[in-house]
Structures are given as structure tokens and as C-alpha cells.
A and B are shown apart, each in its own frame.
Chain A
Amino acid sequence: MEFRTQTLEAISPVVMVVASPEAEAICQSQNGLTVTDLLRPYGFFHHLSVPVRTVGEHSYRIKELRLRFYEASAIYQPAPKVAEDHLCAVLSNAATDVSHAPDLLAALKKGEVPDALPWFKHYREEYMRMLRFSEHETFDHPVACLLVLSASEPNVVQAAEEMFQTMTLPPALRDSSSQATLLRHHVLLADDRPQPATSPDEKLPEGKLAEMKEGLGDAACSLVRINSGDKDKRSGLAGLWHSQIRSPVEGGGAGEPASKPAMPEQGYGAALSVSDVDGLKRSLEDFAVRALIPHLEMRVRNLSQQVALTRKGFKNQIKTLLWRNRSATSAAILSSATSNGADVPATPLRTPRATTTGVFSGLSGSQAQLRQLADTAFLVQDFQTAASTLRTLAVDYRSEGLWHSYASVQELLGLASFMIGASMQEVMTHFKEAFHRFSPQERDPSRDGIRYATRSMLLLAQYASLHGQWSEAHQGLMRAHLQEEDGRAAVLLEQAALCLLHKQPPNLRRFSFHFVLAGLRYNSCNLRNLGRHAYRQVVWLYEGRHWAFIEEHLHDVLGKQSKAAGDLHGAVRHFLAMLPCPRSSPSWQSFYLRQFLDAATQLAANSPEELGPLDLPLPAVNIRNPQVFYDNQTCHANGAARAVPAAYWRRLESLLLPGGDAGQNWLDSGSKTNLASLHNEVCVAGEAVTVAVQLSNPLGIPLVISRLSILAQLQQPEEQEGADGSILAEEVEVTLAAGEAREVRLQLRPLVPGTLTLRGITWTLSDIARGERLFKLKAASGRRATRDQSRQAKLVFKVIPSAPLLQVELLGLPRTVAEGALVEGQLRLSSRGGSVSGIRMLSAEPDLLLDPSAQPDGVHEASAAAARDQTAQAESTASIGLPQANVPCKGQAFMSSWGPDFCVDGQSGPCSWPMRFHPRQPGRCLLHLLWYFEPRAGEDLRFRMLRMVHEVEVLPSLCCQAQLIPAPDDLQSYLLRLQVDSRQEAESTQLEELVCRSPGWKLEPLASAASPSLSDPAASAHSPPSSANSSTEVHGAHSSLLQQSPDCSIAQLQQPLPAKLQALLYFRLHPPLHPTPDQSKPDLGQQADAAARFHLQGQQMRHAKAQAVFEKQQAGQPKSKHKPQQDPVGAEQKQHASGSTPPAAAAAAIAPDPSQRWAGGAPDLSLHWHLSSQHLHGCHHLYKCWPKGEAGVQMLLKGPAQVQHDFAAQPLCRVRLQLSLRNFLSGDVTAEATFGAAASDAARASWSTPGPASSDLPACHSHVWSGRKRAHIDTLPSGAINHKTTEVLLSSEGMHNLQDYQVKVKDGLLLISGTRGLNDAFPDFTGKRQQLRQERQEFNFHREIRLPADASTASGHVHAKVVEGVLEVTVDKVWGPQASDRVDVQF
């Protein structure tokens, strides 16, 4: 509706209706309408063309006119409190049913935002109605009086006069002057119903009308006939009155009586016919055109003339000025009297007639005439006159400070300005000025004007919104709501919010805030339904935007209101949304959880079917990335096996499968399809499918989660549909602590073949609320999309019929074991679901030793016999069918095979084999075992793979270091120094025996000196070995050579080694005299002990590794790019096999020795030990013990250490000496020995050594070499020994120090020179231990020196250089009490 129409409807002439009781009875009994209601729909006249001339020279035409009919008794404004109660009731009625309210989200999406909410329109109309009939506005005052009489009245003229005299006048007309201006009109209401019996004296209505016209005037009377229709038939006119009938205010007023007849069953106006309505319409139109409009026209003229008389001319202006002053004074007096509580005169001053506030102007005097003139001109649609009059009046009121009257004038002036086509800005300025002046000021805190101020803003909002000025409308409503009470403020806020939706672009965020404010206001005045409606409209706007407090507030309010309203489902939904509140304190989180659970409990008690699975946000579930583990052709024995990268397993599988040797890249992977077929989404019926899901608790309180299981669906083939219990899902209980995140593994077993779909997970929170989340794998775009689609597909499995599965148990395998221990355990094989055969096992580590060829324990007799028979047959035919144990194969793996025909039956129980475990490296030992077996039943799987990983923590036990040095007294044998460090924390280790496993080698303890010495490694770390050992010696033990065999040589020790101590063991090693068979492939019988087999295994691995390194070096290829961390096999390859040799040294040590020192290679040793508390035996292996450093040409001058001679009988003593030289170099050398004075003095001095301290003989130098003074050895082949015999003549007794001999060795570039005294000869190892240490000192001193000929090097203690082919050694730093006592030369 246009604003113009609304204005004309709101400000139109008011006709006061006074009906006789008979007339009311005629109307109400048949139609359910009062006379006033009957007339109301026909108060609108269009298609008029009535010429009117008011104050101007020119006339205009009224084309449409509206009349407002009110009962005379209801034409007054109700008291403010009554009006407020009525408006609250309007809102309460609206709140009873908000279902018809539009969904703003849907409307917004459609682009059809409503202009107003349904209750706003009604509320606005009622609000405007409550403010009608104010005293300071005359456009609501009646301009005509319609006296309605019944045609059955016997004397209508007299009755009309009586009625007019006795009628109750509205308050505005109680002034006699106002009453005189009232237009009087009479309506004779005739009941057209068939009358039962009429007396002949009674006149017809037409007769009475004539009588009335004769008595009251022709134009002032009319006849209206009603009730000519059939009451039983619906006339179709009932809709006319629905919009016209207002609900009465309590006590009456505002244009409606206190009570109204109820609507009859047939509807309003049931007895009215079309002719009745037409007659009524014609009568009212005649009244309006012939009587009312001329009356108003005349009244405007009269008022205009009166105003002109009182306002124009100098005299009148003076009067007006004086009157204004007096008026202002009076208003001030009244205002002060009111505020002081003084009695206000019952009859106030006539001019002006002030209201109690003293701000409104009365309706008398010149200003009242102006106001009446303006209002009447507005009613007669002379808007120019109205506007000009109002402007004049506004100036008057403004100058007098009558602000409410001024505001009222501004309000009407705004409407008049609009009607005369003023600018929008001007119109809105008038309304804003009216609002401003109506609003309570600081000096006038009364709130009387607020209602009118709000009305001004409502008019402004309506005007602005109808003209597209939504911002102005919004601002006006927002200004109005600030000073209003809650209910009205909420309505204004909602309307203001809707204005924001009409803006372009829509201000959604401010709209939602206004709605929330409106909801709060509604809740404050107990209009819960409306408040809930307001909140609901905006929840969607905040959801998912992470404004935590806002969402929490909305859901909190909505949840509580829903619960109070009995909507438990809604309460659960809103309380549920509040649960994830990590920013709240734990106490609030606990409260929210309890609140939700209470609501859920109530809902479950009332209607369990409504409490279905909820989308619970607690706990937080990572639905984007569930990990699914399942077995098909590839099975996993434990979780650790799944943790190993699949590529590693595939590499092992390629060694077991025929044609599965995948290449390094896709180009040379010939049998890719075979391997790929192993990893399809296929699972086996009866076997578990495990889903690992990440759960996390975002709250600060613990969460109890029960019945956590997988949500899955198994679609069976058509012929098997209908079977129940096809899925067995495991239910888990979990308690998540505050802030805890955990991966939970859930299992389910499809029991029958079909298609299995994993949908999500379901759980119960605190044993009350059932929740579920469906998996939604992460979506991606672009190139990754295909990959993610395949991930989504991984939640769908094809379930194939069940197949037998091999079950492997490693019994006796400890979780923690000492390094080098020999653990005996048991391998137990069993089968589930059928028989399996063709069992093979591939191990990537050499630490586990199986023996499939042994007789299994507990094997079924029949199958054992069959296995024996088949084994015998296989022996006769081919060796491939034989059981094999730990056969090395490619990729540093070891394979054990049970033979093709060995069968493990699922019904006969498990079979056991002995198993040995021997970890050789401390740290975390992972045993990767891959089992291959062939099910004997089932067609879908020809073979299956079982992956198994066992983790054992290996603790360090002993650290062995061997040092091999050539024996100084014997050019054939070596001395072995074995240093054993105990790394046990508290336990003493019993060293049992040392075994040399190299064939031909002889191990011999150094007689009684072989007893070990113990020392604290920490204390001896920075001290010389000899002195430290001597000071920390604990005890010795007897050691003897117990066994010598061709294959190995054993030295028994039986020596306890306390924890954290060190033992030093000395042995003499005799190398084999003749070449021994190749050790790379020794033949160990089945009865060989486990230690020997592990030793051999390690030997083979070292050999293979050395071979690989050598081949790589030969080929000039770079090193492998595999990182050890990524490849366990590679890591194992990198680890050195010996417990004491670092990897680099081991690689160098096992390299082919160019010197070919020993025909069979360096010796291998095993040190056996025993831990008594754990009943644990173990051994450490030492491979390829090379002498430290390179040996050159070694010499030895042998002779008797003590000679008895009778110088009296024979003046000269002849002593026979033998000089031996052995060439340890790879090539031939030339040597020359010089005795006597020819030897270099410098050389002699540098090699001088003091004699034994215990000698009591005097030193003597009188000796003479006899025979040849120079012996030349042309060729000393590599490894050969040359002996030269010489004699020395002694002429006196004493200690002869034979130092004047020299041996020069020349081998091309190298020239090695050395001298040695006679008493330097290495004594027998039969002395005391003190002597042993001395010999060791000397031994260290006399090590061979080999230097490049073209270099000069210096070490820390000794400067050595080659001068003219002779080695010169200068000792510049010595250690010990005397400079010549000891020199420790290290190269």
C-alpha cells in the first residue's frame, strides 16, 4: 500500500455513530455486527469527483474519500497503562503461534525478503490505534454524528431528538462550541426480514422516512434496509469485516467498545444481501457527498475567516504577542505547580487549556483555531492550506516552548508536506524533529511523549521504506527502540533488522545482531516464543564462523528455551552444539556436558525413537584419515609388522615369490602385476579388519566413551541375503583424559563373503548419548584427486571366503636380553581354519636360528610320518625338497624351508621346533620374519604371506678387543692380548672359554701368566696399561689347554668378571703350518653347537659383504644410496659383525691381504661366557684378528742367557749365537748383518737398553766377534726364515752387553735397520709376572719400524728419519723415572 493511501486512511473524517438499542438488535441478531461495524467497510468512496473550494480562489476535486466510523462511547484515548496492556496482549497472541512466521534464511536465498514480520503489521496498527483521539490533535475528533434508529420505532423524530440529547459525547466534544460544529445525520434502519405479524397501524419504513424528513430535514435522513438475505446461506461478504473489526481494549476506548458480539457461526453479515449492501453504500455515499464534504468545506472557510480575524492586522499581532507572553507565563506556572504537587485548578485557565504536563496546548484560542483549521483542511484534502497553517502554528508553539504540541504539528506537517509533494528530505526532517521534540528532554524527564515519538519514527520508517530509503528507516527505528520498553523495542529492532536485509548488499551481520538484541528484549518481557524465533533466524549466520562466545550464547539460550517449551529434541540439538567449548573453564565444560546429558536422558525417557545417533562433537574424531588394516593374501601377525614400511616387505616377498624379483624402478619390474595383486582391497571372511581412528578430547574434563565400534555394512551376494549377524564388531571402552589425543584401533570381522563398506564409527558418551561420525576422506583437487578417490575406495572391501591361516609363535623369546646371549626357545606353528603346507620362512636378520629338519614336538603322527617319508624320497631325488635352515639368499636374508610337502594341520594341534636367538649388537633388535605358506583349502588364495616382527631390547654385556702381535721370542707364533670390558650393571659375568675357530690355529695360554688381570676401565683409561694393570690386579685363575682339535682350539678360562670391570687375557697363537681348507664354506654338521653356527653365519655375512665391497670397488661404482635408517636390511649390512671391530676397520681387515701372511687367513675367536643369575649362556665373536700395524722383516738373535766358563782353563769363552730373520713383507728383500766395529755407533746408542736390574755381575765390554764379520743374504723371500750362525769370544766374566751388531734390510725403496743386544733376547715366559710385564715393555720397545723412504715423520715421542738409507731414531721425550727406563714408541 502506498504511503499516500495509508495517510488518507489514517487521517480521514471521523463519523460518530449513535445507534438506538433496537437498531443494534436488528443488526447484531442476524449479522453479528454492531451498527458501526456494519458501516465501516462502506466508508471508502472512490470514483468521486466532488468540487471543493475552501480558502483559495480555486476549487479542487475530491476523487476519493474515506470515513472512519466509531461508536460515540468509544471515541477516547485509553489510559497509557491500558494501552500498554493491550499492546502486550497483541504480542502475546502473536507469540502463541510463530509457525506462520517466514523463514528468513529461505526468503533471503530466494531474494524475497518480507517487508515486515506478520506481528509487526498488526502491532503497528494497534499501536497507532491506541494513540488516536488525543486532545491536541483534532483530525481524530468527530466531524459528524450518525444517529441510527430502527424503522420499527413508532415516533422516529422524537426518538431521534431524544437520542441526540441523551447521547454520551466523547471527551473532545464536551465543549459546547465543538458540539455545535457537529454535522447531524439520521439513518433509519429497516429490517427486511419477513415479519410474523404486523399491526395495520404500523407504517412502512418509507413512511417513517418521509415522516423523518419532514421533521428533521430532507438531506439529513436516509433509509437503510438490511437482513433481506438468507441467513442460512453464506453471502460471501464475511471477509469484508474481518479486517475492519478490532479487538476491544479493556474498558473500551480507542474507537472500540468494551465488548463486542461474538462472531456467529455463519460469519459476519450472513443476513445481508447484495441489495442491502448496495443500499447501504448509496446512502453513505450520499451522506458523504451531499452532507459531509460541504460541511467540512464550510467549516474550513469559517475557521479560516476566524483565523484571519484574530491573526491579521497590526492590532491582532500585538494581541498575539501579548497573549503569547501570558501563555508562556501560565504554562510555567502550571508546570511548577505540577512539579510541586500543588493542586491544579479543576477548571484551568481558559486560554490556554493546558494539559497536566503543561506542554501540550489546549484546543481553544487562536492556536486551537489554527490547529482545527489545519486538521480540517487535511481532512478535506486541502493539503496546502493544512501545511501553511501548520507552519504558522509550528512557529507559535516553538516560540512558546510548547514542545509536544510543536512536535505534534511537525508530525502532521511531515504528512502534509508529503501530500503536497515536498522533498523526501523535508518530510523526514519533520518526522525527525517531531521525534526529537516528543522525546523526553533533560529538563523534562517525563516520558509522556515517548509513545508519540515512537509513532513519529514509525511513520518515518514506513515512509522511508516505501520509498526505498532503508537506511533511514533503519536509523529511525533504532532511535525509537532505545527509549522504549522491552516488547516494543524488540518489535522495532526486528523491523530495523529487516530494513538491513533490504539494503544492497544486505547487512547480514548487523541484521543478525539486531535480531539477537530483539530476542533478548523478547525474553526480558517473557515473550519466549518470539525470542526463540528471533534467535533461530540468525543461528545459521554464526555457525562455523568460530565466534565462540556468540555461538555459545545462542545455543545456550535456545537450548534452555527449547527445554522450557518442552522441545527436548531442540534442546538436545542446541546443548550438543555447545559441547565443544575449549575456551571455557573446565567447570563450565562440565556444566555444559551435564546439561546436554540431562536433556538427552529426558528425551530418551520420553521418546526414545527421537534420540537417534547424534553427530556428537565429543570426542573429536579425525574422520578424514582413518587407517585401515586388513589381511588378505598378505597377513600380519602383529601390529609391529604393519608398522614396517610395505616396500621393505615387498622386497622380502620378492625373494620368496617366483618371478617376484622386482627391479629398482618401474622399467625393469617385470612382474609388477603379481605383486600389485597382493595389495588390493580384499579381505577374508572371519579375519579381522582393523581401523585406527584418531580420537581427541578438546575439553579440560575427562570423557568416558563406551561401546566404541566401527559402523560398517556388509552387502552379501543375492543368494545369501537375509543372513543375520554377518558382521562381528568389537566394542571398546575408552576414557580420554583432559586434552588427550589417542589412536584407537577398532576391529570388526565380516563373517560371510560380500562387499564390506566401512561407514564410520559409533560410540556412547557417558553411557547416555549415542553418537556417530561417518568417514569423510580428505578431498583434493587437481592431480591428487585420483589418488584421493582411490583412498575413498579403500573403505570398500571385497570379502572373500575364509582361508586357512598359519599361526606362528616364538616361545621363550625374551623382551630384554644381554648382547651375545644364546637364547633357546621354541617355534610353534599351528593353523587356523584348515591345513597349510609349503611353509617357508625368510628372515632379514641372522640372529634367529631355526632348525626345520629337526623332529617337531607334538606333530601329528601321521603327518610326521608322511613328512619323514617325503623327506626320504626327497633326499633320493632332489635336495630342493629338503628342510633347510637359515640358507643365505639374496638381499642379506636367510631362508628356512620346511619342505614342499610338510603340512600343518589345523586339527592336530601345534608343532614345535627348537629355536635359538643370538643377538650380536646392543640396542633395539627387530626380527623381521616373512612366512610363506599355501592353504590346502580355498580357491581364492593360492598362497599367503605372513609378516611378523618381534622386537627385543638387547642390553650391552661385554666388550671384547683383541690385539695380536708377533711374539718377540719366536718368529712363528703370535701373542694375543684380549681385553674384556664388562658392561653389566651389577652382575658378575663368568668367562668360560676362548675358542679359536680357525682351522689349524692353536690357542695356547701364556702358561701361568695367562691368568687374567682385572682392572677398572675408567681408572686405567689415562694411565699406561702395564702399571695400571699391576696396581689393580684382583686375582688370577688357573687356565689350561684342555682341548685341541683340528677345527678349533679351546682355552678354558672359568674366570668371573665383576660388573663394570675389565679383564686382560694373554694367549699365544700358533698359526697353521700348512694351508688349511677354505673357511668360507665350512661344513658344519647338524650336531654343531649353536654358537658355532652363529659364528659361521657371521663369517659368511662378513665374507659376502667384503666380496660385495670388493666388487663395487673393482667396478668403480659409487656406494649404495640406501640410507640405513630407511632400510633395515641395509642397516643390518652396515653393522659390523664383530663385537670389537669398528665397521671401517672390519672392512679393511677383511679385505684380501696382499701379504698372504697366513694361508688360511686371520684367526677367528669366540669368547664364551655365562650369567649364572639368568642361567644365560652367551658368546662374543672376534673375526679376523690381524696384528696391529704392518710387520716388516723381523730378526732374532738367539743365544744362551747365562754361560758358565772356566777362564783359568780356557782364556776365551766361545758362545754360539744364531741370528734369524723372517720376512713378513709381500716381496723379497735383501739383508746384511754386520758384527763388531762395523756396526754404527749411532745406531747402537739409539737401541741401547739397560740390562736386567737384578744382575749382580759387573758390566764388561771385552768381547770379540769371531768368524765372518759381515753376513749377506741375497734373497729373503716373502714369509721365509733365514738363520745365520756366528760366534762371540768372551775374555772375562761379567755382564756382556752385545750391542755392536747391525742388520740392514733393503727391499727396493725401504731400508730397515736395527741393532739388538744379546740380553735383549726375549726370555722364556716362565718367570714371574713381574718379568712378564718387563718383557712386555721391551716388547713394545722393540717393535719394528717401517717408514717410507721419502718422508720424514715425527710422532709424539720419537723422531725418526731416514738418512742415507739408515733409519735414525732420536728419543726426545721419555716416560718414566729415568730417561732410559722406558720408551713407548707408537706408530
Chain B
Amino acid sequence: MTSVLVKDLTLKFGAVTVLDNLNIDIPEGEFLVLLGASGCGKSTLLNCIAGLLDPTDGEIHINDRNVTWEEPSGRGIGMVFQSYALYPQMTVEGNLSFGLKNARMPKAEIKERVDRAAEILQIEPLLHRKPAALSGGQRQRVAIGRALVRDVDVFLFDEPLSNLDAKLRADLRVEIKRLHHNLQNTMIYVTHDQVEAMTLADRIAIMKGGIIQQLDSPTEIYNRPRNKYVAGFIGSPEINFFEGRIENGVFATTGERFSLEGYEFQNNGHEGSAWLGIRPEHIVSGDAAKDLPVSARVTIDIVEPMGSDTLAWATLAGVPLRIRMDGQAAVSSGDEIHIGFDPSRASLFDKTSEERV
């Protein structure tokens, strides 16, 4: 069953088109992440779904009800904000119950719901404190609690972890995942952090310029990016790109020819100018590389050891090449090594349309 349906949604501020004819169908219980660089329209889309921005055109349905012009409070959504947005003059309890009081719910039921939310989020000892007396992590729990007490089917998260430090962010990320696992609500989550997106999402929608570039599962997006932008956006360290031509099942670039044996073309027999992308972690180094369909000898320029793994920089076919190696790999700059990759792991994009071929 469809939980949230975005139909032909367009939003313009004057002459600027912020959202361009978007269509998303989110099934019940799905965790959807809207991912993109700042200014891509992801937060705008979330605000439209929440009813905080009026769309220029199109419709929004929540639980099979057209809510395009419904007030935010009448849409059956709960929302968590980046800056927590807790009401500073109210206690935690006041924050949690504010929405319920506005809906004129009986006192007993308000208490019951607040207590249950506090229990789930383990914030019972904080109920009578003011937000100023809470830590960042506690504040964000309260903010999640405020969405929780509303007992709604759809949760909206607007970069909820961006204001937290790295460790807390990792902790709360797991907690949000657990929450989704237990509650099985539909969740729409906006972030610019690809780790959050990959770890949390059932499906990721990558946005750029008000358009969804790709809407797929995390593995699909990682392995089979639909266009060059998505390939470059997902993955850290960034994917390596080579510019060249596809000729007779071979990718020809400056001074090198890569075999494309095993690559799954979208439609057979593509020829012409193209980009080839290969992720640093898919490049094999050492003797094992010799047996791969594509292999070459390169000289290491710079090595960046990161503990768990090591990033080595070399030059291949005239472009800088990132190679991700094991953290224990004994390489240093100036070393000459064998590298290679399996073409089925690579991605090919048309030169002009930048679409996957």
C-alpha cells in the first residue's frame, strides 16, 4: 500500500524552479532517504510534503488522501528538524505535549502518550527539564519524541544529525534505524551525508537541481549508478573517471586500452565517446591484478594511510588514479606496482548525456 505519493510536484520561486515535476511513490513502512548536495531541493521537497511550503503545481497524497492544501498538522506527519527546534520556554514534557494540546486531546491520553514516547527514547528523567539544560543528543531525542507522540504513520527527518558531533551522530543513527525497525513507520529522511543514506535507507533518492537523478536501493545506487553525477556523488574516496571511446568492446583512452569483457551494457553494441568510472576499492593491486581483464603498471605518487585502509595516488592514462588498499599494505611513494580491475565492476557513461550505457 502506498503511504506517500508525490505526483508531478513542481515548485518555483519566481523564475527559479526549485523542484521540477517530481514523482515518488513511497510504500508503507519504507525508509526513504533524500540525498544530495546543498541546494539540490531535498529539504524543499520534504517541506512540501510536510505542508510548510505551497507547491506551484502537482499533488501530494498521504495515506491515499490528497493533502496538497492541507495544514501541516492535519496531514498525519511528524517532523524532526536539524536544529531540534525545541520550544525553549517549555519543559521537555511541554514540548512533547504541545501538539497534542493543540489538538485538544484529553489529558489522560496526552500523559499516556508522552510517557510511552519517553520510555521508548529513554528520556524519562529529563521530562521536567528545559531544553537549555539538555545535551545535543538529548535534545534530538526529545525532538524525535515530539514526532513520536503524534502517533502518525509518516515521519519526516530534516538532516536531524547534522548538528551533532561525529560519535553522537553514529550512535543516534543506529538508534533511528532501530526505531524504524520497531515501529515500521514510513520515514522520509533528508541528508547530505552518504554514510547516513547508505546505512539507513531502504531506498535512496539522489537529487540534483530539483530533479531526482536516481531512486534505488543503496546497493543498486552504489554498484550501478544511473549517471555520471550519481557515480561521482556516492562513494568515498571518489570514483575514478577516464575519458575515452568505446570501440568493439574495448574502452580506448589516452595511451591505454581497457577490455570491457563482462561489462553488462544496457543495450548491446554501444559505441562512441564515453566516460569509464571505477571505484578506488574495486582496483586490485599486486600479483592478483595480473590475471584480471584490465591490468597495468603504475607508479605511486602519494600514500595516505588511514588506519583501516590506505589510499594511494598514482597516474594512469594521464589522469590521477585513487587506489584503495588494505590498511596493512606496505606501499610508499615511488613504488611501481601492478594494478587491475574487473570490467563488470566498472560503470560506463555516455559522453554527452552522461547516462549509463
A binds B: no
Chain A residues with CB under 8 Å of chain B are none
Chain B residues with CB under 8 Å of chain A are none
